[in-house]
Each structure stands twice: as C-alpha cells, then as structure tokens.
Amino acid sequence: MLKRDVVATTSYSTAGSSANCDTMTAACATELMNAASSFHKLHLKVKGAGAYAAHKALNDLYDALPDHADTLVEGYQGASEKLLDYSEAAPRTLNTVEEGIAYLRDMYQMVNALQAKMPYSELVNSLDTLKDTINSAKYKLLFLK
C-alpha cells in the first residue's frame, strides 16, 4: 500500500510567512475557496452607481478562484508527493466594493509570500496567473464604473 504524508495546516491568517510551504499552500488554497464565497456574496449585494460593472467583475473573480485553488493544490501535491490537510476557517464578510478591494490587496500579499517560499517553478508560474486574476479584478473594481 502507498504511504501518503498528510500535513496539518492552519488558516492563512494564522499561518503567516514564517510557516513552512506545506502549511502556507494549504492555507492559501483554503483562503481562495473561502474568498470565492465571500466575493460571490458581495456580488449579490452591490448597488448604486457602477454596480453592474462591479457585479460582473466579482462574478468573473468568484468563478476563477476555485480553479486557482484546485490548480495550486493538485500541482503542489503532485510535486511534493504528499497530501495536505486543510483547517476550517470562516470566510471573510465583505459589505462594500472597497472592502473587496482591500481583501484583494491582502490576497495579493498572501500569494507573494507563498511564491517566496515555493520551491517548484511551475507553481510559482501558477501563482503569477492567480496574481493576474487578482490584478484584473482590482482594475475592474477601481476603474470600470
């Protein structure tokens, strides 16, 4: 029978940049999955001037985030040849587009910190694609009203 290593993790907010790459990767994936839920809920409650543009931008974002999480985890588990374990963390509550933009900035920093520790170049590239998605969403939310 194949032996599989399982690595316990914490949420991204408690993992921090001093955590190991396994912990940070699992925490990042959890954060991305939770962020999809948070942005989906925000997408349903935007209103006022520029609401349609924000609604569409948030739709694109919450559709993309689970795929980024999946790509990250599958690639990492394949490269490291071990399974990660994921802790439960509550999704962030977002009430305004401005809170969503602040969250995107936090997510960008999370991805940068993970990239700095990532030993697999192909995953560094995947994380660049995630940052591109984050930047595109920020652009749309900031300037397309």
Q: Which of 84, 70, 78, 59 is nearest to 129 (CA)?
A: 70
The phi, psi pair for 7, rounded to 5°, reads: -110, 120
Assess whether pLDDT exceeds 60 at residue 107. Answer: yes
- CATH 2.60.120.200 holds for 6-143: no
SS3 83: strand
For the stretch 53-76, what's the b/e string if a residue is b when 16 or more beta carbons lie within 10 angstroms of its beta carbon? bbbebbeebbebbeebbebbbebb
pTM of the model: 0.88
- Phi, psi (deg, nearest 5) at residue 120: -110, 115
Number of H helices, E strands in the chain: 5, 2
pLDDT digits (tens, 9 = 90+) for 110-139: 999 999 999 999 999 999 999 999 999 999
- Residue range 60-106, pLDDT digits in tens: 999 999 999 999 999 999 999 999 999 899 999 999 999 999 999 99
**What is the 3-state secondary structure of 44-75?**
HHCCCCCHHHHHHHHHHHHHHHHHHHHHHHHH
